[in-house]
Amino acid sequence: MSAGGSAWSEATRQLALSEAHALAAESSRAKAANYFAAADSEKRIAHVLAPLAAAGYHFLPDRQWPGSRRAQVDMVVVGPGGLFIVDTKAWKDPIIAAGRVFRGQADVTDEFDGLADLAWKTEAALAEIGLAPGEVRPVVVFAGHKGVNASVGGVEIVGEGDIVRHIARRGQRLTASAVEQVLAAAITYFPLIGAPAPVDVTLPEPIIGPEPALDLDHLPSESDIEAAILEGLLAPPIEEWMTFLHPDQAKLVRRSFNGPSRIRGAAGTGKTVVGLHRAAYLARSQANARVLVTTFVRTLPDVLSNLLGRMAPDVEGHVEFSGVHQFARRVLDERGIDVRVNSKLADQSFDEAYKQTCGPLSKIDTNSRYWREELDHVIKGRGLTSFDEYADCARIGRRRRLTLDQRRSVWALYQRYESLLRTREAHDYADLILLAEAALRAKPMVGYTAVIVDEAQDLSCAMIRMLATVAGDGADAFTLIGDGQQTIYPGGYTLAEAGLSVAGRGVIMDVNYRNTAEILALAARVVDGGSYVDIEGTAASTAAITSPRHGERPLFARARTRTEHDGKMVQHIRRAAQSVSVGWGDVGVLCSTTRQVRDAVTLLRTAGIPVIELTDYDGRPTDAVKVGTIKRAKGLEFKQVLLPWIAERLMSPGVIGAGWTDSQIERDERDRRELFVGITRARDGVWVGCITAQGSSM
pLDDT of residue 624: 93
- pLDDT exceeds cutoff 80 at 12: no
State mean pLDDT over 159-175. 83
CA angle 23, 25, 27 (to 5 degrees): 130
Contact status, residue 449 vs residue 289, Cβ threshold 8 Å: yes
> What value does the mean pLDDT take over residues 198-226?
44
Contact 78, 85 (CB under 8 A): no
**Closest C-alpha to 408, from 452, 457, 467, 364:** 364
How far is 29 from 32, CA to CA, in rounded Å? 5
Q: Are 326 and 374 in contact (CB under 8 A)?
A: no
Dihedral sign of CA atoms 456, 457, 458, 463 in order: positive
> Do residues 477 and 467 touch, judged by C-beta distance below 8 A?
no
Which residues share a beta bridge with 59? 77
In the predicted structure, residue 49 carries a pLDDT above the cut 70: yes
Instruction: In whole angstroms, give the CA distance from residue 442 to residue 400.
Output: 37
Cα–Cα distance, 305 to 452 (Å, whole number):
13
Q: Are 147 and 163 in contact (CB under 8 A)?
A: no
Select from 669, 645, 652 the least CA-distant residue to 596. 645
Q: Is the pLDDT of residue 673 over 50?
A: yes
pLDDT of residue 285: 84
Which class for 399: exposed (0-12), middle (13-18), buried (19 or more C-beta within 10 A)? middle
Helices (H) and strands (E) in the chain, counts: 22, 23
At the fourth CATH level, which superfamily is domain 250-337+431-513? P-loop containing nucleotide triphosphate hydrolases (3.40.50.300)
Of 559, 566, 556, give the one whose Cα is nearest residue 692: 559
Q: Please count the CA atoms within 13 angstroms of the CA of 15 that sit on its side-chain side.
A: 7
E strands, 437-516, in order: 450-453, 478-482, 506-509
pLDDT digits (tens, 9 = 90+) for 460-484: 999 999 999 999 889 999 999 988 8
Checking if the pLDDT of 232 tops 60, the result is no
DSSP character string of 616-635: T--SS--SSEEEEETGGGTT
pLDDT tens for residues 92-108? 788 998 889 998 889 99
Q: According to the model, what pLDDT value does residue 22 have?
A: 47
- Per-residue pLDDT, 692: 86
Q: Say which range, 180-184, 363-367, 519-523, has the weakest mean pLDDT.
A: 363-367
The proportion of the chain whose per-residue pLDDT surpasses 70, expressed as a percent, equals: 83
Q: Is the peptide bond before 191 cis (omega within 30 degrees of 0)?
A: no
Average pLDDT of the segment spanning 157-164: 90
pLDDT tens for residues 338-360?
999 999 999 999 999 999 998 89
Q: What is the pTM of this model?
A: 0.75
Fold of 555-691: Rossmann fold (3.40.50)
Q: How far is CA 276 from CA 280, 300, 453, in A?
A: 7, 12, 10
Q: Supply the pLDDT for residue 155.
A: 92
Name residue 473's amino acid.
Answer: D
Helix (H, G, I), strand (E, B) or coil at 198: coil
Least confident piece of the model among 459-468, 573-582, 598-607: 573-582
**Whether the Cβ atoms of residue 280 and residue 308 lie closer than 8 Å to each other:** yes
**β-bridge partners, 78:** 58, 83
82-89 vs 72-79, strand pairing mode: antiparallel
CB proximity list for 197: less than 8 A, separation 6 or greater = 38, 39, 40
- Measured CA to CA, the distance from residue 130 to residue 124 in angstroms comes to 10
Least confident stretch, 114-123, 228-237, 657-666: 228-237
The overall longest dimension of the chain from CA atoms, in Å, is 96
